[in-house]
Amino acid sequence: MLRDLLRPKRRVHAHCDIPCGIYDPQQARIEAESCYKIIEKYNGSDDELLRARCIDIKEQRAELTKHHIDVLWHDYFKPEHLEKFPNLHEVCWKASKAASKVKQTSDIAAAQELLSLIDQIDGMWKATGGPEKTRLQAVAA
């Protein structure tokens, strides 16, 4: 009774976007592979309708790639990882930019460059214990 009387009606939020702590560069890699394949299809086709769809889908996938790269960069990597890999910021920055480039062009070399940068991020993720720390090792069915 007294408790109800004293209970505040105003709620304030010590807010957190609930970081689930699950990270894997493969998420970015799969979207980037999609871009790569779509660019191949685009360049190998005369079908205007297919080519228009390719551009549309490629833009979506490139945006997703960029999002996944940014999440790794902003949320997964920590200052101690930067000490271990002083080029971490540069690689993530370049990868993010490469994703933008893939969004803009139909140049297969751009998609290749994006994949290679994601693989560099993957290397840093693995070397900092990412697979053990940020993926579930086993989930009971």
By CB under 8 A, name the binding residues for other proteins.
6-8, 10-17, 19
Nearest Cα to Cα of residue 121 among 80, 85, 83: 85
Nearer to other proteins, 14 or 49 (CB): 14
Q: Please report how close the Cβ of residue 59 comes to other proteins at its closest, in angstroms.
A: 25
* Residue 76 near residue 125 (C-beta atoms within 8 A): yes
Q: In the structure encoding, which two tokens stand for residue 18, read together?
A: 């609930």
CA dihedral (136, 82, 119, 101) in degrees, to 10, reads: 120
In the bound state with other proteins, the residue whose beta carbon lies nearer, of 66 and 103, is: 66
Q: How far is the CB of 74 from other proteins (least distance, A)?
A: 9
Tokens of 104: 């803009």
| Closer of 20 and 49 to other proteins (Cβ) | 20
**Minimal distance, residue 5 CB to other proteins, in Å:** 11
